[in-house]
Structure 1
Amino acid sequence: MTIDKTARIHPTAVIEEGAEIGAGVSVGPFAVIGAEVSLARAVEIKSHVVLTGRTEIGEETVVFPFSVIGEIPQDLKYHGEDTRLVIGARNRIREHVTINPGTEGGGGITSIGDDCLLMAGVHVAHDCRVGDRVILVNNVGLAGHVQIDDDVIIGGISGVHQWVRIGKGAIIGGLSKVEKDVIPYGMVQGEAGALVGLNLIGLKRAGLDRADIAVLRNAYRSLATGTGTFRERAEALGAESDSDYVQAIVDFIRSDSDRSFLTPE
């Protein structure tokens, strides 16, 4: 066990032999930290948190009470293989969040990027890959193998089906069921998870100028109303447009996936 001399450990916390506790880390009352857990500089673990498994947490991340991080996957195919959970820097993991490590069949790792906010009750299942600056609102559930790219927002009490990919900058409305891939910058609403447009507010907040947004809107119309299959429309769009934002959508559609796509209404 390695505990930096500047770490602040409450006397009721349980830290197993082998854990690595970095400089300036704070561990609150009744927290339990397993033998293979590694906490980077200035991580804050509040009261009654359980950290277990081969779990790495990046600097300045805060984990709030009653979260369980790194416990074994809820997958009947998991039989104790050595897998990992890697969480980046400056994340806020609120109350009652659960995050599972990977499985052998899914690459062996679950990962969360930097500067994310996981609100109360969120569940991130095995082998998920979550990017940077992602917001998961209260009681969002990510099934196994889900991929969430950077700058995505998922509204409260929404569920994402296993193997689904959600592209950069997309937004999912609350109470949505997402069973198919969502294109970058897409906006999904409704219980059935329909693709209803682009995340225009998010694009404006990201600093895109009107010309770029206009190009994206035209591209979305082409995907919605063009001839041929959805993939054929995307291929035609890629050949016609020199916009990096449009190409990001086209590349996402071209890439391999285990799911089909939500297509524009």
Structure 2
Amino acid sequence: MTDQEPNQQLSVTERTRHRRLREQGSTSRDDLDAILRAGFVCHLGVLVDGTPMVVPTVYGVDFATRTLYLHGSVASRSLAHSPDATICVTITHIDGLVLARSVFEHGVNYRSAMIYGTPELITHATAPEALLTGLRTLTEHCAPGQWDYARRPNTKELRATSLLALPLDEASVKTASGPPEDAEGPDGALGLWAGVIPHHTRVGAPEPDPALPPGTPVPAHIAALGAPGSDSA
């Protein structure tokens, strides 16, 4: 499976079945990929020493192999002892605050995905080449061009790093958009303002490290990250 095959459908499972607001759900793999491409921070839900924990972390996606890479961090400590543990990864982009005529009809315009599965724990000791592949994928997803520009990890750093590789096989996608939905009911006659307050995530111009020698140029790939029209969501 590659990202060159459009309009592939996600398999529906008991965990991904849309039970509420089904009209907001999608089984399109393209919709999932668009949500993944639009960001690089997710929330990882995992059991750590028997206690539920939700950890914000950075992710990167290899769309050719349908693999989501996550920085292991706290989760790797638990998964090393429970290699068959299931995790849940969520990504959410907020597009607007929906203000209706009644508080009950208020809402949020959003794009979200939930991904379930049993990840592979990747370390330098068990899979050094896979660890490099995952780190490259994660780095390039966040900042294209940076892997070939910056110094790459040395052996000591790789030994201190772990990643989780999660297949994109089981996922649920939901989105909401548009204005409030109470205009046609009794509240439409109240004479109150209703509408959407848009929310956008925008990147700014690169801010150099104060320790840089004067005149150090901004590499083209970094300048492009802060160029007009490079909104991340």
Given the two structures, how large is their TM-score scaled by the length of structure 1? 0.20
Q: Which has the higher strand share?
A: 2
Query: Higher relative contact order at CA 8 Å, sep ≥6: structure 1 or structure 2?
Result: 2
